[in-house]
Amino acid sequence: MSVNDTWSTFEQLLKQLINQHIPSKFLSGNKVDKPWISKEIKAHQRRRNKLFNRQKETGRPKNRHRYRQAKATTKRLERQAYWHYVEDLIEVGDPDQT
């Protein structure tokens, strides 16, 4: 067999084995579990989503204002939780230990 024939045979066998024995799953962006998102933040997200739908349906400035406040609060909490999570991962050693 030539080198090209050998390679194509190997490649076909490898692809077949990958399809049979390696599981795969596609994840959508909003279903991925982010470890820094707590129950409290999820509750704020649900509230924000409800307020968005309400302001979209009614179009009242009061509802829009409530939604924007909830959006800002949720965003702030998510960012704080994220950076707290990152800091815990990095965690610099104790300054007393030199």
Question: Residue 63 has which token pair?
Answer: 């509802």
Per-residue pLDDT of the chain (98 residues; tens, 9 = 90+): 899 999 999 999 999 999 999 888 776 666 567 899 999 999 999 999 999 999 999 999 999 999 999 999 999 999 999 999 999 888 765 555 54
For the chain, domain boundaries:
36-89
Q: What is the pTM (predicted TM-score) of this model? A: 0.60
List all residues 6 or more positions away from 85 whose beta carbon is below 8 Å from its beta carbon: 35, 36
Name the 3-class secondary structure at 91.
Answer: coil
